[in-house]
Amino acid sequence: MRIAVIGGDGIGPEVIAEAIKVLRAAVTDGSVETTSYDFGAQRYLRTGEILPASAMAELAAHDAILLGAVGEPRVPSGVLERGLVLRTRFEFDQYVNLRPVRLFPGVGSPLTAVAPIDALVVREGTEGAYIEAGGILRKGSPAEIAMQESINTAFGVGRIVRQAFGYAAVRPRRKLTLVHKTNVLAHAGDLWRRTFEATAAEFPAVTTDYCHVDAALMYMVTQPDLFDVIVTDNLFGDLVTALGAAIAGGIGLAASASISPERTGPSTFEPVHGSAPDIAGKQKADPTAAILSAAMLCDHLGMSAEAARIEQAVAEDLLERQGEWAARSTAEVGDDIAERVAG
């Protein structure tokens, strides 16, 4: 297991240290090899470059990337997001952005009255509104035109929808909901809907449903158990998973994987949360999202027993903390979970 570690900025390095601690407790045969990279705001401010020329080739020589978070106030918003997070998703063809929305027992949520919540969002990661298609004309003039196009290809939609059916087919409920806005985004929506229906014919055991994204966000709050697996585009997926994190215990618990299923490049595992500069270096961040992301990493590399042990240890820790994790430091939470994993 050759893992490229990009701790990044703010709380990133703190939570990633705990994820690696837990990973080493789960994978005991000494096969976890890590290489640390200092990419992020500090390096950018020092050198003016986001990724050195050799970076992509070096990262590509690893089995997976474990990413903390990037960004800090002195770097203009968007520079590191596009230059590092999105660049690796695009160039390594990490088209499956996988985000569980699962409320663990014992975890508080604004929605405890309507729980259980156990969904999996399969977000397209390489197309849609995210790929900087478009441009600006007549910049700065009153007649300025800004075009931000959403690109949806039969290839890209086809492969993410197929992946989502695959995930739905092996879950107990076997239900897949397409989330889009086909009534208004009629061109893209038509491609998504036709692709979804054609693929459904190949997966007769999976129950299918469709939901407009605005309604889906409301149902996530009022009836979250409507959802099992959700498949959606890049931008809708960003929004749906942000709400998902908020209803399932907060971003301190939300894990994420950007997967390159054909392994044309390494996949990236990262908590959904950002770098939280306000609490950086204080050992106040909850490392659970990073630890659960490490469990997804194990799963991806064929170590499903190790992944299950990490998840189980997290579940036990969450049940015991009863919302009181803040009494422990980031490292203490990592120690406690690692201890449970080691048994």
CA distance 160 to 201: 16
In angstroms, what is the minimal distance from the CB of 8 to ligand IPM? 11
Q: Is residue 333 a contact partner of residue 288, using CB atoms and an 8 Å limit?
A: yes
Comparing CB distances to ligand IPM, the nearer of 182 and 241 is 241
286 binds Mn ion (CB under 5 A): no
Residues between 18 and 77 that touch Mn ion (CB under 5 A): none
86 binds, among Mn ion, ligand IPM, none (CB under 5 to 8 A by kind): ligand IPM
14 binds Mn ion (CB under 5 A): no
- The amino acid occupying position 32 is V
CA distance 83 to 69: 13
270 binds Mn ion (CB under 5 A): no
Residues between 108 and 137 that touch Mn ion (CB under 5 A): none
Comparing CB distances to Mn ion, the nearer of 244 and 334 is 244
Q: Is residue 273 a contact partner of residue 314, using CB atoms and an 8 Å limit?
A: no
Angstrom CA distances, 264 to 62, 91, 162, 295, stand at 12, 9, 18, 21
Q: Where are the alpha helices (DSSP H) in the chain?
A: 12-26, 41-47, 55-60, 79-80, 87-91, 154-169, 186-200, 213-222, 234-247, 288-300, 304-321, 330-342
Comparing CB distances to ligand IPM, the nearer of 3 and 85 is 85
85 binds, among Mn ion, ligand IPM, none (CB under 5 to 8 A by kind): ligand IPM
Residues at the site binding ligand IPM, with contacts judged by CB under 6 A: 81, 85-86, 238, 272
Comparing CB distances to ligand IPM, the nearer of 131 and 200 is 131
In angstroms, what is the minimal distance from the CB of 330 to Mn ion? 22
Comparing CB distances to Mn ion, the nearer of 238 and 317 is 238
Site string for Mn ion, 221-240 (x = CB under 5 A): -----------------x--
CA distance 17 to 310: 15
Tokens, residue 66:
């474990």
In angstroms, what is the minimal distance from the CB of 85 to ligand IPM? 5
Q: Which residues bind Mn ion (CB under 5 A)?
A: 238
